[in-house]
C-alpha cells in the first residue's frame, strides 16, 4: 500500500484518512519534485539552440532524414 504525506517538524504527516497501523515497519522515499508543465519546460528551452539552418522550420523533416550519425 502507498500512503502520501509530508514531513512536518521531522515527523511524517499522512494525508487523507488511511494510515498504516501503529508498529508497521515502513520505508519512506522522497517523491520527485514537479518540474512544471510540458509547456513550461519548452519555454525554458526556447532560444537555446545555436547554429541551426535558417530554413529549419520549413525543412526539418528533410534535415532529419539526411542526418548522419558519426
What is the pTM assigned to this prediction?
A: 0.43
Mean pLDDT, the chain, rounded, equals 87
**HSE-CB of 28 using CA atoms within 13 angstroms:** 12
| 36 is a domain residue | no
What's the rounded mean pLDDT across residues 45-67? 87
Helix (H) or strand (E) holding 23: none
Give the number of domains in the chain.
Answer: 1
Pull the grid cell for residue 23: 508498529
Q: Label residue 23 left, alpha or beta by phi (over 0 means left) and psi (-120 to 50 means alpha).
A: left
- Of the pLDDT bands very low, low, confident and very high (cuts 50, 70, 90), residue 10 is very high
Rounded Cα distance between 59 and 2, Å, is 48
Q: Which domain holds residue 15?
A: 1-30
Q: How far apart are CA 21 and CA 47, in angstroms?
A: 52
* pLDDT single digits (tens) 12-43: 999 999 999 999 999 999 988 877 888 888 88
pLDDT band at 70 (very low <50, low <70, confident <90, very high): low
pLDDT at res. 67: 74
Residue 16 placed within a domain: yes
Amino acid at each position: 500500500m502507498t500512503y502520501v504525506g509530508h514531513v512536518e517538524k521531522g515527523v511524517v504527516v499522512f494525508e487523507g484518512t488511511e494510515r498504516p497501523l501503529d508498529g508497521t515497519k515502513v520505508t519512506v522515499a522522497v517523491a520527485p519534485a514537479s518540474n512544471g508543465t510540458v509547456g513550461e519546460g519548452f519555454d525554458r528551452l526556447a532560444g537555446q539552440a545555436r547554429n541551426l539552418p535558417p530554413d529549419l522550420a520549413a525543412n526539418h523533416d528533410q534535415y532529419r532524414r539526411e542526418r548522419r550519425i558519426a
